[in-house]
């Protein structure tokens, strides 16, 4: 059995349509899934929709819909948008799916059996946007407003079921300390460790169903209460794999993918994923995911995204950009522009600049030059390699890319990976400028050397496109077909220098990334 890779995104709330933030996490997960598949690893990629909770109930009421009607209509926007962005998820879970609801109830039963849940009373502040309880001191610090949205906190007072979260604090601390790769990046790990040092209270994990328009998964021991939306949502990562097994539904085999290799989240939901989630798993006696990676936050044109400011990078804006520049350009941009983990800013100007510099003038131009020259001087057939070509700088850049790709992906350092791709493009474009093949072509005595130069160029473009494929599946395939290569390609097989076969016919040249003014 080969190496396994299980990657997840958060499941997104269906109170509103997808935007750049949702697209960002999902594209990152897609690139990782495609990369691991290309390395021959058994891969499972899960995304989905978070459909319960106050947020959805309120949004539905405002639109005069039932929560189910709202969820059913908005979830389609996510599903269609992921298709549009060429997201290759293997599963899409909705927390309103019967498969999830049944398993969530079975999880609650297990927690009850293990004496992990008890009845109490919740009294305090609630951030309805975040679906999160806020301590008195944190509420006071933020003038009783949400630290995330700025909206007023709401006073809650109700009987509730509690999870013995505090009991797991020591064990969790020890785990985080012993597993540096568990929370990434390092700064987020430190943030969690220092917050944990302040202590941990038990967690209210139920809500009155009557107050939620009966929209939620009822507790097996108390039909008047449903499971707190965050416990409901977090458990999707295992219910989607068929945990715990109930009946014969045929998806239990997926449980082999647990523990997850990588769970991608935004920094806004760090605490839920690095404290509630692992404690819940420990209480169920289920192993913890290998890595939770929290990426940064996108702003737009220098400001926090907001519909009223008109800088909201919505599904519609992204669709329009993709129609103009290609969806692959957008996929590339979001992972190239900002180191994964840091905050970033989206602007049309930065997008266009990146497109023209990296894609049109970079890989696009290199491919066009190479295919055109081989077309003109070698009847569109791959020439023979030649040691006198002086292609060492190109080959070295190619080898640097091959060596760096795996470790960069392992650490979600997408921009470091793409830097190496760009280095190879630059080294090859420079090689063409220095060797001037168009001049050599006029001298019959230089034919062998000319062939060697163009072989090296074609080989470099082949590697550039192969390594870009997880980021830009369409464009990479189009470019490779210009080199006469058809998919599907396995990186572990094609990621070596010198694999192009002399004499092989090239395909038709076409502009991969037309320059945009
Ligand atoms: O929190 N920049 O769902 P959600 C970067 N349902 N990423 C952003 C972003 C931004 N400006 N805005 C959103 C929820 N994201 C819960 C999750 S998981 C068990 C339950 C991304 O619809 C980022 O991945 O509010 C963030 O974590 C997620 O969207 C929050 O999506």
State the DSSP code for 129: T
14 lines ligand 1 (CB under 6 A): no
Q: What spatial distance separates the first Cα and last Cα of the chain, rounded to whole Å?
A: 50
Instruction: State how far the Cα of 377 lies from the Cα of 305, in Å rounded to an integer.
Output: 52
Contact 153, 145 (CB under 8 A): yes
Instruction: State how far the Cα of 353 lies from the Cα of 360, in Å rounded to an integer.
Output: 10
Helices (H), 223-295: 229-234, 236-239, 270-271, 277-284
Local confidence band at 308 (pLDDT 50, 70, 90 cut-offs): confident
Mean pLDDT of 20-41: 98
**Tell me, what's the pLDDT at 248?**
63
Local confidence band at 252 (pLDDT 50, 70, 90 cut-offs): low
Domains and their CATH numbers in the chain: 4-296 (3.40.50.620), 348-494 (1.10.730.10)
Name the residue of 10, 273, 317 whose CB sits within 8 Å of the most ligand 1 atoms, as the mutation to test its pocket.
10
Q: Which of 459, 449, 461 is CA-nearest to residue 389? A: 449
Centroid of ligand 1 to alpha carbon of 81 (angstroms): 16
Contact 17, 315 (CB under 8 A): yes
Contact 56, 112 (CB under 8 A): no
CA 225, 228, 233, 236 torsion-angle sign = negative
Local confidence band at 249 (pLDDT 50, 70, 90 cut-offs): low
Q: Which segments within 305-434 are labelled E, that is strand?
A: 344-346
More confident residue, 114 or 157: 114
Q: In this structure, what is the dihedral angle of CA atoms 89, 94, 98, 100, given to the nearest 10 degrees?
A: 80
Bridge partners (DSSP) of residue 7 are 45, 262
50 lines ligand 1 (CB under 6 A): yes
Instruction: State how far the Cα of 317 lies from the Cα of 72, in Å rounded to an integer.
Output: 23
pLDDT tens digit string along 443-491? 999 999 999 999 999 999 999 999 999 999 999 999 999 999 987 789 9
266 lines ligand 1 (CB under 6 A): yes
Instruction: State how far the Cα of 69 lies from the Cα of 482, in Å rounded to an integer.
Output: 47
Q: Which atom of ligand 1 is nearest to the CA of 12?
A: 22
Instruction: State how far the Cα of 156 lies from the Cα of 122, in Å rounded to an integer.
Output: 7
Instruction: State how far the Cα of 367 lies from the Cα of 429, in Å rounded to an integer.
Output: 10
Instruction: State how far the Cα of 134 lies from the Cα of 130, in Å rounded to an integer.
Output: 10
Q: What is the mean pLDDT of the chain?
A: 96
**Tell me, what's the pLDDT at 469?**
97
What is the percentage of the chain residues whose pLDDT exceeds 90? 91
Helices (H), 183-228: 186-197
- The owner of tokens 């068929």 is 242
Residue closest by Cα to atom 7 of ligand 1: 21
Instruction: State how far the Cα of 86 lies from the Cα of 79, in Å rounded to an integer.
Output: 11
Q: Would you call 265 helix, strand, or coil by DSSP?
A: strand
Angle at 52 between CA 22 and CA 143, to 5 degrees: 75
Q: What's the distance, CA 139 to chain centroid? A: 32
Q: Which atom of ligand 1 is nearest to the CA of 269?
A: 27
Instruction: State how far the Cα of 26 lies from the Cα of 47, in Å rounded to an integer.
Output: 8
pLDDT tens digit string along 85-99? 999 999 999 999 999
Contact 294, 188 (CB under 8 A): yes
Of the given ranges (101-105, 155-159, 491-495), which has the lowest mean pLDDT? Answer: 155-159
Local confidence band at 250 (pLDDT 50, 70, 90 cut-offs): low
Instruction: State how far the Cα of 434 lies from the Cα of 352, in Å rounded to an integer.
Output: 28
Name the residue of 25, 82, 306, 344 whose CB sits within 8 Å of the most ligand 1 atoms, as the mutation to test its pocket.
25
- Token representation of residue 4: 């396994």
337 lines ligand 1 (CB under 6 A): no
Name the residue of 129, 269, 342 whose CB sits within 8 Å of the most ligand 1 atoms, as the mutation to test its pocket.
269
pLDDT tens digit string along 124-150? 899 988 888 888 888 999 999 998 889
- Token representation of residue 178: 């012993």
Mean pLDDT of 76-83: 98
**Tell me, what's the pLDDT at 137?**
84
Centroid of ligand 1 to alpha carbon of 22 (angstroms): 6
Contact 341, 293 (CB under 8 A): yes
pLDDT tens digit string along 314-350? 999 999 999 999 999 999 999 999 999 999 999 999 9
pLDDT tens digit string along 231-240? 999 999 999 9
């Amino acid at each position: 059995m080969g190496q396994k890779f299980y990657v997840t995104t958060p499941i997104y709330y269906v109170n509103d349509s997808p935007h750049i933030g949702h697209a960002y996490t999902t594209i990152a997960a897609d690139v990782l899934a495609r990369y691991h598949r290309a390395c021959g690893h058994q891969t499972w990629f899960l995304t989905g929709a978070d459909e319960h909770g106050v947020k959805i109930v309120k949004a539905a009421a405002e639109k005069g819909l039932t929560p189910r009607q709202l969820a059913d209509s908005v979830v389609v926007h996510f599903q269609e948008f992921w298709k549009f962005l060429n997201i290759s998820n293997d599963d899409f879970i909705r927390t309103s799916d019967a498969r999830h609801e049944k398993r969530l109830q079975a999880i609650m039963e297990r927690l009850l059996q293990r004496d992990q849940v008890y009845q109490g009373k919740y009294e305090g502040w609630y951030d309805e946007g975040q679906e999160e309880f806020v301590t008195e001191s944190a509420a006071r610090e933020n003038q009783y407003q949400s630290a995330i949205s700025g909206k007023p906190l709401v006073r809650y007072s109700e009987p509730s079921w509690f999870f013995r979260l505090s009991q797991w604090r020591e064990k969790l601390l020890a785990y985080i300390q012993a597993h540096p790769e568990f929370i990434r990046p390092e700064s987020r790990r430190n943030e969690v460790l220092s917050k944990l040092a302040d202590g941990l209270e038990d967690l209210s994990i139920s809500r009155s169903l009557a107050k939620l328009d009966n929209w939620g998964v009822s507790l097996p021991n108390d039909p008047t209460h449903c499971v707190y939306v965050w416990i409901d949502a977090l458990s999707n990562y295992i219910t989607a794999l068929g945990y715990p097994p109930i009946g014969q539904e045929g998806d239990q085999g997926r449980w082999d993918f647990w523990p997850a290799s990588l769970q991608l989240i935004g920094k806004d939901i760090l605490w839920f994923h690095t404290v509630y989630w692992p404690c819940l798993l420990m209480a169920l006696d289920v192993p913890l995911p290998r890595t939770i990676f929290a990426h940064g936050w996108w702003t737009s044109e220098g400001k926090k995204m907001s519909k009223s400011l008109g800088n909201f990078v919505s599904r519609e804006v992204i669709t329009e950009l993709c129609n103009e520049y290609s969806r692959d350009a957008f996929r590339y941009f979001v992972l190239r522009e900002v180191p994964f983990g840091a905050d970033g800013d989206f602007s049309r100007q930065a997008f266009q600049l990146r497109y023209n510099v990296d894609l049109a003038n970079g890989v696009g131009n290199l491919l066009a030059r190479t295919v055109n020259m081989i077309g003109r001087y070698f009847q569109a057939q791959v020439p023979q390699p030649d040691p006198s070509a002086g292609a060492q700088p190109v080959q070295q850049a190619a080898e640097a890319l091959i060596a760096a790709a795996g470790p960069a992906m392992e650490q979600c350092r997408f921009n470091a990976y793409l830097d190496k791709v760009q280095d190879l493009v630059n080294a090859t474009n420079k090689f063409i400028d220095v060797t001037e093949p168009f001049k050599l072509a006029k001298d019959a005595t230089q034919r062998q050397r000319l062939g060697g130069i163009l072989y090296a160029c074609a080989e470099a473009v082949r590697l550039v496109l192969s390594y870009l494929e997880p980021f830009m599946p369409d464009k990479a395939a189009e470019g490779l077909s210009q080199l006469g290569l058809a998919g599907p390609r396995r990186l572990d097989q094609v990621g070596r220098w010198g694999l192009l076969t002399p004499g092989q016919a090239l395909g038709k040249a076409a502009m991969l990334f037309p320059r945009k003014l």
